[in-house]
Amino acid sequence: MSDTQQEFQAPHPDGDAREGVRVSGVRMSGSTGDGVSGGHASGDGPPGGGAVGDGASSSADDPSLNLEPMAGLEWSHAIELPLVTGDAASPADLRVAWVHRAPLSHVLALYRAAGRSGERVPSPWWLRALSDGKLESRDAGFRIENRVHKLLSRRPGWEFVPWADDGESGFWEFLPSEGTGDHRRMPTTIVNTSRHTGWIDMFPAHESVSPEPVAIGGLAALRARLGEIEAVR
């Protein structure tokens, strides 16, 4: 599914380029009250231990040279999922990483620290929306995912695919649009997105170059257009 993952990668946020963005005074414990242990972070601190930027003072010329790689390393642990989530049957089954459970203020601080260089930071769509001030809460993002899944899982032909880009929440494919025999193509796909406040994009079935996403203006609009979307087979 690697080609599909690449095609349906959501646009990256602008990030937060403000100087001095860092997580400080947040520590890692060996285990957490909610059962997260080992290499995963506690509910209070970033994964990997210490604070974002530990050791940055070792570079007298440019402390940010150490801050950014450290934040990036901690962020990779923050979005890390167990291998067993490859069998996830819904977006809810994927909500076991640090970004899903830690205090939101800590998640946002680490996300912004990791993105200080301006490079794309792998992240859930709802976190990008929160960082941009477009979404009111993490739970609101979870509810949107749950409602899309509830709608599509009740209709024949739709399948949830958990193998999304790092940090993402999976997507839904309409398998009948894949075709048969020598005429197979990438099936029609529904993804959640942060690029507009309808939060849903549709990629039409295609054979080679991925088409531009079609913005869907929310769950009601998706429900109203499903007949049209499913007609492509």
Amino acid code (one letter) for 115: G
C-beta of residue 94 within 8 angstroms of C-beta of residue 149: no
Q: Are residues 191 and 161 in the same domain?
A: yes
pLDDT digits (tens, 9 = 90+) for 202-215: 999 998 888 999 99
Amino acid code (one letter) for 98: W
**Model pLDDT, residue 120:** 87
What does the angle CA 187 – CA 152 – CA 177 come to, to the nearest 5 degrees? 20
Indicate whether 49 pLDDT > 60: no
pLDDT digits (tens, 9 = 90+) for 76-97: 999 988 776 668 999 999 999 9
pLDDT band at 46; cut points 50, 70, 90: low
**Model pLDDT, residue 5:** 40
C-beta of residue 159 within 8 angstroms of C-beta of residue 173: yes
pLDDT digits (tens, 9 = 90+) for 99-114: 999 999 999 999 999 9
Q: Are residues 180 and 149 in the same domain?
A: yes
Q: What is the spatial distance between Cα 200 and Cα 223, in angstroms, rounded to a whole number? A: 11
The domain boundary residue, chosen from 65, 85, 117: 117
Indicate whether 56 pLDDT > 80: no
Q: What is the mean pLDDT of residues 56-63?
A: 41
Q: Are residues 144 and 112 in the same domain?
A: no
pLDDT band at 44; cut points 50, 70, 90: low
**Model pLDDT, residue 69:** 62
DSSP 2-40: HHHHHHTPPPPP-----TT----S----SB-TTS-BTTS
Residue 111 lies in a domain: yes
DSSP 109-140: HHHHHHTTTSS-----HHHHHHHTT-SS-HHH
DSSP 8-state assignment for residue 201? E
Residue 211 lies in a domain: yes
pLDDT band at 68; cut points 50, 70, 90: low
**Model pLDDT, residue 48:** 58
What's the number of domains the chain is made of?
A: 2
The domain boundary residue, chosen from 117, 149, 183: 117
Residue 204 lies in a domain: yes
Q: Are residues 151 and 211 in the same domain?
A: yes
How confident is the prediction for the chain on average, in pLDDT?
77
Q: Which domain holds residue 149?
A: 139-230
Q: Are residues 145 and 111 in the same domain?
A: no
Q: Are residues 89 and 164 in the same domain?
A: no
Give the global pTM: 0.71
Joined tokens for residue 121: 């930071």
Q: Are residues 164 and 198 in the same domain?
A: yes
